[in-house]
Amino acid sequence: MNSESAVYWDPYRPELWMNPHPVFRRLREEAPLYYNEQHDFYAVSRFSDVERGFMNKETFSSSRGDILEYIKADMDIPKGMFIWEDPPFHTVHRAVLTRVFTPKRMNDLESEIRAFCVRCLDPLVGAGRFDFITDFGAQMPMRVIGMLLGIPEEDQEAIRDRVDASLRTEAGKPLEVSQASYQGHGFEEYIEWRTHHPSDDLMTELLQAEFVDETGTKRKLTREEILIFINVLAGAANETTTRLIGWSGKVLGDHPEQRAELVQNPALIPNAIEELLRYEPPGPAVARYVLKDVELHGRVVPAGSAMLLLVASANRDERRYPDADRFDVHRLGPPHITFGRGIHACLGSALARVEGRVALDELLKRFPTWTVDLDNAKLSSTSTVRGWDNLPAFTPTAGSKATSSAGARAVLREAAADAAQQPLSSTPPAGESWELTLSTPAGPQSMTARIVRNGTAFTGSMSSAEMGTRDISGKISGSTLTWTLNLTKPVSIKLSFEANADGEQMSGSVKLGMFGRAALSGRRTP
């Protein structure tokens, strides 16, 4: 263990997280039971050992948490934190939620999940660039779990950021343990309000659910137990699914020929998601507390140790997966272990799969190709969840496959010709002058606008080389202007503008009738 060539691994070093797979291979070959002296933990890396680690709950306990730093900190685990409980507490708490997160119920959510994806993705079309994480991956899972839990939309971002922050590590350093990480501050007011306004959501279900607790008593969940449940779900459902979307962007960007196959044949997408989960699991390492001495590979792991089950390594074990380091959307073979095994296997796995599939489907419809801007990409520094904080990509500005953009181009061409026939309006010289750029599927369109404010309303005009000048009028709310422009040929289409004017800059979007949205940016001119 002390020789120069001995393999070394820990979960904190950024350079090891960037591409851990060569080191994992060495672990599987040279140190199938690995001990790290510096941080005092053991790790197993072969599939069979990782699987046995999950299944042997009598030896490998979840009762001190499944995050390495938490196990070593010997935290008090609040009751109801079922992810960090052993039977019998785990059994009765998890059973309350099992019937919610089932394959059938999660598949029933597909159309709503699709609607969220469309809302996230449509504004990005034609912009030439978007970020898989900040524009999509960090948005959609948050909205889905928020919808499930009945959390009002305006509060969903704050909750996500709070939980994500509790899982961050500083590069090279262990996670800072805080007793408050999963203690529901911020959720209490929703639960109180929801008690008096029951609805068709998970929070209402939790408030009303009756179960038999570990003493055999039939009762409802306590307020504290509900808070903890919701905190766990909100945290788990966001970070991990966001990572899956990020890896979809990175890995398919690295394998453009397979990405093209998915565009041609979307029926391959479910299997592609399974292969993405195998290839780069969002939760690459899961920790357990060793309850009793156990012998592995000729060595005794003493009771009281922390054991890391290296899921990302198990998924690349050639003892199970032929040519394991090859990414192949056609791969048929034994399932991955990304969601774990046994009583703690991921409760949200069906939801993750449905979200992953729908997200990839809607993504490929709008962006059949992209190029990752790796220079500006940033890998997430957490010891528990591995993936991207930022994954910007360049996308085509014209010529994409989606029928919506083809339709938009045709409409804009015809509408410009039609608008040129309209009489010129008399534009007063007063007011603000703006230079605008619309990022449409037909490419960037330049326009100018003149705005004459009058309290909460304005009048003015818009001009472009193609359409000439058209009168506009609209509303002002704070710094936001909204207005429409009606075109009549070849079809009746209403352009709906919404722009935030902040001194010298304007930003917003325009809805192109039913042909999607275009981003809008503007610059004040003298």
Partner 1 sequence: MAKITYVEFNGREHVLQVASGVSVMQGAVENNVLGILAECGGSCSCATCHVYVDEAWIDRVGPRSPGEESMLDAVCELQPNSRLSCQITVSEELDGLIVRMPAKQV
Q: At what angle do helices 349-366 and 256-264 cross, to 10 degrees?
A: 90
- Give the integer Cα–Cα distance in Å for 44 and 311: 9
> Shortest gap between Cβ of 265 and partner 1 (angstroms)?
16
288 scored as a contact of partner 1 (CB under 8 A): no
- Give the integer Cα–Cα distance in Å for 226 and 206: 7
Helix (H) or strand (E) holding 493: strand 493-502
Burial 248-275 (b: 16+ CB within 10 A, else e): bbbbbbebeebbeebeeeeebbebbbbb
**Cα 245 to chain centroid, rounded:** 6
Q: Which of 209, 263, 346, 452 binds partner 1 (CB under 8 A)?
A: 346
> Shortest gap between Cβ of 347 and partner 1 (angstroms)?
9
For residues 62, 65, 68, 74, the Cα torsion angle rounded to the nearest 10 degrees is -110
> Shortest gap between Cβ of 251 and partner 1 (angstroms)?
21
94 scored as a contact of partner 1 (CB under 8 A): yes
CB atoms within 10 A of CB 349: 16
216 scored as a contact of partner 1 (CB under 8 A): no
Which x/- pattern over 470-489 shows residues binding partner 1 (rule: CB under 8 A)? --------------------
Q: Which of 4, 5, 18, 104 binds partner 1 (CB under 8 A)?
A: 104
- Give the integer Cα–Cα distance in Å for 76 and 81: 11
- Give the integer Cα–Cα distance in Å for 441 and 401: 10
- Measured from the CB atom, the residue of 274 and 362 that comes closer to partner 1 is 274
> Shortest gap between Cβ of 55 and partner 1 (angstroms)?
5
Size of the site for partner 1 (CB under 8 A): 28
The SS3 of residue 85 is coil
Stretch that binds partner 1, among 61-69, 249-257, 336-344, 482-490 (CB under 8 A): 336-344
- Give the integer Cα–Cα distance in Å for 485 and 488: 10
Helix (H) or strand (E) holding 204: helix 202-208
- Give the integer Cα–Cα distance in Å for 251 and 305: 35
- Give the integer Cα–Cα distance in Å for 240 and 280: 11
98 scored as a contact of partner 1 (CB under 8 A): yes
266 scored as a contact of partner 1 (CB under 8 A): no
- Measured from the CB atom, the residue of 151 and 347 that comes closer to partner 1 is 347
Residue pair 238/164 in contact (Cβ under 8 Å)? The answer is yes
Stretch that binds partner 1, among 131-139, 173-181, 347-355, 381-389 (CB under 8 A): 347-355
- Give the integer Cα–Cα distance in Å for 86 and 105: 26
Q: What are phi and psi of 11, to 5 degrees?
A: -85, 10
Q: Which residues pair with 507 in a beta bridge?
A: 500, 521
Q: Which of 128, 186, 270, 444 binds partner 1 (CB under 8 A)?
A: 270
Residues 52-81 interacting with partner 1 (rule: CB under 8 A): 54-55
- Measured from the CB atom, the residue of 88 and 103 that comes closer to partner 1 is 103
107 scored as a contact of partner 1 (CB under 8 A): yes
CA-based torsion, 311, 316, 322, 328: positive or negative: positive
494 scored as a contact of partner 1 (CB under 8 A): no
| Cα three-residue angle 79-85-90, rounded to 5 degrees | 90
> Shortest gap between Cβ of 267 and partner 1 (angstroms)?
11
Q: Which of 1, 6, 95, 303 binds partner 1 (CB under 8 A)?
A: 95
Tokens 């352009």, residue located: 495
Tokens 């992810």, residue located: 83
Cβ-in-10-Å burial (0-12, 13-18, 19+) of 90 comes to buried
Q: Which of 7, 23, 260, 343 binds partner 1 (CB under 8 A)?
A: 343
353 scored as a contact of partner 1 (CB under 8 A): yes
Q: Which of 21, 26, 39, 105 binds partner 1 (CB under 8 A)?
A: 105
For residues 187, 191, 192, 195, the Cα torsion angle rounded to the nearest 10 degrees is 170
Stretch that binds partner 1, among 110-118, 220-228, 345-353, 439-447 (CB under 8 A): 345-353
- Measured from the CB atom, the residue of 42 and 339 that comes closer to partner 1 is 339
> Shortest gap between Cβ of 152 and partner 1 (angstroms)?
29
218 scored as a contact of partner 1 (CB under 8 A): no
Stretch that binds partner 1, among 104-112, 148-156, 168-176, 384-392 (CB under 8 A): 104-112
- Measured from the CB atom, the residue of 256 and 335 that comes closer to partner 1 is 335
DSSP label of 117: H
Stretch that binds partner 1, among 1-9, 181-189, 335-343, 469-477 (CB under 8 A): 335-343
> Shortest gap between Cβ of 319 and partner 1 (angstroms)?
12
Stretch that binds partner 1, among 95-103, 157-165, 235-243, 305-313 (CB under 8 A): 95-103
Stretch that binds partner 1, among 241-249, 348-356, 387-395, 419-427 (CB under 8 A): 348-356
Helix (H) or strand (E) holding 114: helix 110-121
Q: Which residues bind partner 1 (CB under 8 A)?
A: 54-55, 94-95, 98-99, 102-107, 270, 332-335, 339-343, 345-346, 349-350, 353-354
